[in-house]
């Protein structure tokens, strides 16, 4: 069985140490120095739900409620399909039904395609075949595993493209492809896949954040600002989005606008090197503003 270090986990899933620490504090992830492949898949699902503005404590409550309501279900994140609801809760598709466990309600599932295929008139195509969910999951898991080794990133890209052949609106596959292309500095392809992820799931805050990074990297800082703002509208406690938005405002020489987001960042991340840098920026901006006020009074 493959074993992944903490550094491997952060790199493969494109998460930060503070995100992982927050999930550990909320009881979503067990603190460890080594992880199995199943652990990676489980933590990835936590990441995706948080990126869709579901709070960590709500995810934990949903998991606890799901275990009580579905006998024998030990790990809902791996044994059922999780998604966010309009009320920013978690719904699980299990046993052919969609359940919101905190409320104990079954939901109408509009995401499933009609699986009954009737004969189509001659000369007209019938409905598209429904992709095998297990096959999609298998290819996606293969892509994640191949990302672990930089030498197999080309194979990871091929695996994610296979996912998209089977499920063109697989937002997470678009995200991971975008990041692989971003790391290759192929920003045009990275942008294309981030935009396709947004089209597939307009509530996916991570997609807006990653798109903002591409826009910033390619000199479109004003566009990046708007994209980071959208990410924060979807997920107001998205610390990394506050940090990168502050940096973007600094580039635009708008320190007072940057100040708001530096301050938001340090409220969300109270320690660590990024927090130290944010605090130094806050101090610098406040000192500069103080000097301007003294100068005006004089």
Dump pLDDT digits (tens) for 87-113. 778 888 766 677 777 776 666 544 443
Q: Which two tokens stand for residue 256?
A: 């007072």
Where is the domain boundary, 90, 107, 124?
107
Residue 106: beta bridge partners? Answer: 99
Domain count, the chain: 2
- Does residue 134 fall inside a structural domain? no
- Name 161's Cβ contacts closer than 8 Å, sequence gap at least 6: 177
Distance CA 186, CA 190 (A): 6
Arithmetic mean of pLDDT, 202-221: 91
Distance CA 242, CA 260 (A): 9
Give the model's pLDDT for residue 96: 62
The answer to whether residues 175 and 291 belong to one domain is yes
Element (H, E) at 25: helix 17-25
Distance CA 287, CA 256 (A): 12
pLDDT over 90 percentage in the chain: 29
Distance CA 199, CA 231 (A): 14
- Does pLDDT of 228 surpass 90? yes
Q: Higher-confidence residue: 133 or 17?
A: 17
Q: Among 72-76, 167-171, 180-184, whose mean pLDDT is lowest?
A: 72-76
Distance CA 188, CA 157 (A): 15
Distance CA 129, CA 115 (A): 8
CATH number at residue 278: 1.25.40.10
Q: What is the pTM of this model?
A: 0.62
Q: Which two tokens stand for residue 250?
A: 């600094």
Distance CA 268, CA 238 (A): 8
Give the model's pLDDT for residue 111: 45
The answer to whether residues 180 and 94 belong to one domain is no
Distance CA 36, CA 260 (A): 40
Q: Which two tokens stand for residue 136?
A: 């999609």
- Does residue 235 fall inside a structural domain? yes
Categorize the per-residue pLDDT at 258 as very low, low, confident or very high, splitting at 50, 70 and 90.
very high
């Amino acid at each position: 069985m493959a074993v992944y270090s903490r550094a491997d986990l952060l790199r493969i899933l494109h998460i930060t140490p503070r995100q992982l620490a927050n999930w550990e504090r909320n009881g979503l992830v067990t603190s460890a120095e080594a992880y199995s492949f199943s652990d990676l898949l489980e933590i990835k699902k936590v990441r995706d739900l948080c990126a869709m503005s579901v709070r960590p404590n709500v995810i934990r409550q949903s998991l606890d409620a799901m275990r009580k309501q579905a006998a024998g279900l030990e790990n809902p994140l791996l044994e059922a399909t999780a998604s966010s609801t309009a009320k920013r809760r978690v719904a699980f598709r299990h046993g052919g039904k969609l359940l919101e466990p905190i409320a104990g309600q079954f939901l109408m599932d509009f995401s499933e395609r009609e699986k009954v295929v009737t004969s189509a008139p001659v000369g007209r195509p019938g409905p598209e075949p429904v992709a095998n969910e297990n096959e999609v999951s298998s290819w996606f898991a293969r892509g994640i595993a191949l990302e672990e080794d930089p030498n197999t990133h080309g194979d990871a890209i091929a695996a994610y493209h296979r996912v998209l052949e089977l499920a063109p609106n697989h937002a997470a596959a678009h995200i991971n492809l975008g990041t692989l292309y971003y790391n290759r500095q192929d920003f045009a392809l990275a942008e294309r896949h981030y935009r396709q992820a947004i089209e597939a799931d307009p509530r996916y805050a991570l997609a807006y954040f990653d798109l903002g990074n591409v826009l910033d990297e390619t000199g479109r800082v004003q566009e990046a600002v708007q994209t980071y703002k959208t990410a924060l509208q979807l997920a107001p406690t998205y610390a990394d989005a506050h940090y990168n938005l502050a940096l973007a405002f600094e580039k635009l020489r708008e320190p007072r606008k940057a100040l708001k987001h530096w301050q938001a960042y340090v409220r969300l991340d109270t320690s660590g090197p990024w927090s130290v840098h944010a605090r130094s920026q806050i101090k610098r901006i406040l000192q500069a503003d103080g000097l301007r006020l003294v100068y005006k009074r004089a």
